[in-house]
Amino acid sequence: MKPENQKTIDEFLSRADEMGDDIIAQTEEWLGVVPFIFTLMRERPEAFALSVLGDYHTARPASLDPKTAELVAIAAAAGAGADNCVRVHIGTALKEGATRDEILDTILIAGIIGKTHVLAPALRAFRDRLPEADSLSTSPKNRS
């Protein structure tokens, strides 16, 4: 790494503990709660600052308005089975102007993808193990 870049990183990391306090306060204002993972990650100020600042900028891209970003976060959290994250991001989506219907539809769409996540590999395994099953699904009498 170039010395000037290393110097910039070192200066940044020298303020990691102070930034951590700011990050916690900003997160609580943004989400209305501080995720428990933040309290534990905070024990490593440098890693915490680097990780969470990157996450924040990823979660709030310039290309999406905050409400849309929160709906995406709900869908991703639902798909990942992160129930507490779903709850937190529902609250934040409401704060950003999302309606009940928008949130419900977001969760339902995530559910469709979740169903596909289960069915696609299982049905591929089924087809591969029982190839004659594939020919049955394409026979003219089974198309209706």
pLDDT by residue (tens digit) across 74-93?
999 999 999 999 999 999 99
* CATH code of the domain in which 113 resides: 1.20.1290.10
Structural domain tally of the chain? 2
Q: Does 5 share its domain with 25?
A: yes
Q: Does 53 share its domain with 102?
A: no
DSSP letter (8 states) at residue 35: -
- Boundaries of domain holding 11: 1-59
Q: Does 2 share its domain with 29?
A: yes
Letter for the amino acid at 132? E
Q: Does 45 share its domain with 20?
A: yes
60 Cβ partners below 8 Å, 6+ apart? Answer: 66, 69
For range 105-134, the mean pLDDT? 90
Q: Does 83 share its domain with 121?
A: yes
Give the C-alpha separation, 134 to 124, whole Å.
10
pLDDT by residue (tens digit) across 41-78?
999 999 999 999 999 889 999 999 999 999 999 999 99
